[in-house]
Structure 1
Amino acid sequence: MTGIDEISADRPSVFHLFSAPLLPATLMLGGGVTLYAVETYITATIAPSIVRDIGGLELLSWMTTLFVAAAVLGSIFVAMRPRGIGLRSVYVAGALMFGAGSLICALAPAMPLVLAGRTVQGFGAGILAGLAYAFIRFAYPEPLWQKASTLYAAIWGVSTLLGPSLGGLFSEGSAWRHAFMLLVPLCVLMAALAPLLLPRAEDDRAHGKIPILQIALLLAAVLLVSIAGTIDEASSKALLIAASIVATLSMLTVERRGKNRLLPTGAVMLAKPVARVYLTMFVLLLVLTSDIYIPYFLQVLHGVTPLMSGYLTALVALGWTFAAFFSATLFGRGANTAIVAGCVIEMVAVASLTTFLATDNPSGNLAVLGPAVIGMFLMGFGVGLGWAHLVTKVLSLVGNAEQDKASAAISTVQSLGSAFGAAVAGVIVNSTGLVDPGGVAGGVSAAHWLYVLMALPGLIAVTISLTLSSPAERQAR
């Protein structure tokens, strides 16, 4: 019996990922996710320093918009790569692209070149994120698929604290360039080690043409909703969101009727369990992204300092990480229960903020602020409780020929959910008082309506999650 077989026979834990036979793959796959996650928060921290040093304030929002769009395209490339190109070769390409983008950013004399670097960097990041899931079935026995997803969630949670802290070290003058430059040799090292440390992965995808129209519509949807998230004017933001929804629905219609598919079979038909799993993931992320306004509400309504508000908001991500480890030992009926419970907890936690966060508490009274902080933690806890189980369901519900599509779609759903959540949250707060009348009164109104309305999609997630343990799902393989 091999080391991997022995792990399969035992009751698996996250620590099995770091056993001798699996450690090389874990370091490479986890390293790719870490690179993506930490860089996301470092760049958000040093962005103001970049503008102060080389200008381009009017282009600042595009640093994130282009990165996200390119990351979606990168994750799609994992599934749609030319035949004959193995996953290890794709990993090498992704690491080198990330490094090349970082180098461009580090040497950029003006913001347009920084944007070019962020686009290249985003494409590489999307590849690395997509590969983390695509490689799971080749790197680990099936009982450890969920554990690998738990590890990735933990990396994102830790990165919410580590990223801004590292970014702060490079926020003075032109030191921001070093934050990018330090990544270049690391990316080169990862590219060099990938063929040695990652397992060989058979290209067992089904034959078919590249679904160019679906990819174009999806990218249009991502760009439109990402741009919407950067605009303050409510009517323009709403118009862009509407256009993005049209592009998304058009993509799904083409996907359903076309022969060349971007998504795995059944992913656009709610009668199929895999579609309901993806929709649950999308809604969970959409609701969770309402946390982007928490730092503002903490500062304006509760008298919390900017630094402390940042750390308090990080409790959302830490809640996700804590819950991921908490539920990592659950299987079967316990895993299904965790998914439903997670959806309920997130919905209730968001609804609780309408009372505890949306209130005038300038002295920071802990009787009010304390429950709000608990609600923030539980927002992330709810998502983390079921996320790894949802990922495992996706991978177990599709055949081997569509595993790469299924893996890429996970990253795409994450990006779309976060982008739509940010844009919708922006429309809500700008329409309910954040800008007019503004101040404390506007903040209370905006916070109240934001979390009232964002709790409603949570009902959708709860309803769908109750169907994920149906006989149809158990039979669909």
Structure 2
Amino acid sequence: MSQKSSTAGPRPEVGDGDGWRDLFGPAARGPVTVFAGGVALYAINVYLTTSLLPSAVAEIGGLELYAWAMTVFLIASVITSMLVSRTLTRFGPRTSYWIALGLFGAGSLVATFAPTMPVLLAGRGLQGLGGGLLAGLAFAVIRMVQPERLWKRSLGLTSAMWGIGNVVGPVLGGIFAQFGAWRGAFLLLAICSAGIALLAKRAMPARTPDSGSTTPGRVPTLSLVLLTLATTAVSIASVVGLSVIMVVLIAVAVILVIGFVVAERRGGAQVLPAGTFRRGSVLIWLYLAVAVLAITSTVEAFLPLFGQRIGGLSPLGAGLLGASLSWGWSVAAILNSGISRPAATRVARLAGPILVAVGLAGYTALQLEGAAPVRIGLWFVLLFVAGAGIGMSLVHWMPAVMSISADPTESQQAAAGVNTVQLISNAFGSALAGLLVGIGGPAIIGSAQLLGYGYAVVGVLALVVAARALRTRALRTDGK
């Protein structure tokens, strides 16, 4: 693609095949590194911060604000995730990445030099604003700068970045914390942001035919406010513990989401493409398929706790147990990204939720006190299987969203909406997980079993949604 003018040429064709060689060929290597690097930066930051926070609080105080470090980041991410398509339309891929990386890098610097917890939270907010754009840009830019036959490969690589983040983040955070240098970890994130921004200058086009042919629409203020408030309510619910307040906040969040749907159906300025929530819409079922699978992934937040309390694992071993779900997700996404035949694609979309349900149910059935090494080994295997179900299914649903319309603006908006749907689902999933763990207590075994079986049921729900989506005429026709 040409970088000499403000408008790129036709979408690049990087070879005659559709394998990994094309994805890392000369024409595609630069953009792939930018969007994969952006997602890796986001993922590493999530897991790294969790490891660093105890050391940060010990130095600067603010224990009462501990949980808000993740809550503020998530809320800020949701806000900017809803503005991805408008940012791309107005500024183009290159400048959009500069904005995202600039915000993320600035937030990392603020966190690096934070003298108090409120200042650290301000840095986390800036990181979230940049992170929401980074994660959303990956989906939208893949569609804009890659040929369609490489979309699944690109999405598979992007999914793998979460697995990398789940390993690198805790290890890196643990190393910095061990030496009392937690500020250095945030400084490293800022340096990495600058490095990816420099690469984006060479690798990303200033404009593409899609971004240059449209003008930004009005900002969907009402939808933004309702969804942001819903995310705030459910995020607070996830940190207050099992109580009446938690239940009330979740109920308020559900009402706000219903209000968001009503606002989107009324037309005008919208976050998601027009017609998403209308009767007979294909897109709503695609988003639901993504949403339910994203919810199942939030079970991983409690896996290290169960590993230590039930299995007697070390902190490192428990952390690896929690990462096994992400590893399964990443490996399956990469392996399944090469599947293109419609029949095989449909099988993968249905088999994924089945693996999620079977993996989580099997893992939960083995939650017994005094677990032997063999049983603990089976925990890893079954969680890997559950994660594989998420990855193999999502890697086929996402391209379906990206190709939903021939209209470039609508397809770009639909692709960017995937990230918003995932973030909102993660927020609700975290709150639901906390609720189930609280109800299942006070015994840790009861919490583990209720959460595991409860999320196995969510896997069955994902199968029902997938089957319903596949019955739509559009999917039966083109296999996407």
Question: Into which bin does the TM-score normalised by the smaller protein fall?
Answer: over 0.9
- Aligned match of 1:118: 124
TM-score normalised by L of structure 2: 0.92
Query: Aligned pair in 2 of structure 1 residues 6, 25: CA closer, same or farther (>3 Å)?
Result: closer
Q: Residue type matched to 2:62 in 1? A: G
1:342 aligns with 2:349: no
Task: For 2:287 and 2:143, locate their aligned partners in 1 and report how far apart those are by CA, in whole Å.
Answer: 19
Equivalent of 1:236 in 245, 251, 272: 245
- Aligned match of 1:296: 305
Helix, strand or coil for the counterpart of 1:258?
coil
Equivalent of 1:366 in 360, 363, 373: 373
Task: For 2:424 and 2:310, locate their aligned partners in 1 and report how far apart those are by CA, in whole Å.
Answer: 30
Query: How far apart are residue 242 of structure 1 and its match?
Result: 1.1
- Aligned match of 1:248: 257
After alignment, is 201-210 or 256-265 more displaced? 201-210
Query: How far apart are residue 239 of structure 1 and its match?
Result: 1.4
Query: Aligned pair in 2 of structure 1 residues 425, 270: CA closer, same or farther (>3 Å)?
Result: farther
Equivalent of 1:280 in 275, 278, 289: 289
CA contact (8 A) 2:233 2:253 kept: yes
Identity %, equivalent residues: 33
- Aligned match of 1:311: 320
- Superposition pairs of residues 155-304 of structure 1, within 5 angstroms: 155-172=161-178, 174-199=180-205, 200-202=207-209, 203=211, 204-205=213-214, 208-269=217-278, 271-304=280-313
Q: Deviations over 1:353-402 (max 9, x none)?
A: 33112x22x2x313433333222111111001111111100001133112
Task: For 2:240 and 2:121, locate their aligned partners in 1 and report how far apart those are by CA, in whole Å.
Answer: 18
1:26 aligns with 2:32: yes
Query: Aligned pair in 2 of structure 1 residues 300, 6: CA closer, same or farther (>3 Å)?
Result: closer
CA contact (8 A) 1:14 1:148 kept: no
Helix, strand or coil for the counterpart of 1:384?
helix
Query: How far apart are residue 158 of structure 1 and its match?
Result: 1.5
Q: Residue type matched to 2:232 in 1? A: L
Q: Residue type matched to 2:361 in 1? A: A
CA contact (8 A) 1:428 1:446 kept: yes
CA contact (8 A) 1:46 1:171 kept: yes
1:97 aligns with 2:103: yes
CA contact (8 A) 1:205 1:402 kept: no
- Aligned match of 2:5: none
CA contact (8 A) 1:41 1:164 kept: yes
Q: Residue type matched to 2:463 in 1? A: V
Query: Aligned pair in 2 of structure 1 residues 44, 5: CA closer, same or farther (>3 Å)?
Result: same
In structure 1, list runs of 5 or more residues that go unmatched: 437-441
Which aligned runs of 4 or more in structure 1 are off by greater than 6 angstroms? none
After alignment, is 202-211 or 451-460 more displaced? 202-211
1:429 aligns with 2:437: yes
TM-score normalised by L of structure 1: 0.92
CA contact (8 A) 2:14 2:22 kept: no
Helix, strand or coil for the counterpart of 1:5?
coil
Query: Aligned pair in 2 of structure 1 residues 182, 301: CA closer, same or farther (>3 Å)?
Result: closer
| CA root-mean-square deviation | 2.0
Query: Aligned pair in 2 of structure 1 residues 124, 207: CA closer, same or farther (>3 Å)?
Result: closer
Q: Deviations over 1:421-447 (max 9, x none)?
A: 1111111111121xx3xxxxx112122
In structure 2, list runs of 5 or more residues that go unmatched: 1-9
Helix, strand or coil for the counterpart of 1:466?
helix
- Aligned match of 1:410: 418
Query: Aligned pair in 2 of structure 1 residues 84, 416: CA closer, same or farther (>3 Å)?
Result: closer
Q: Residue type matched to 2:458 in 1? A: P
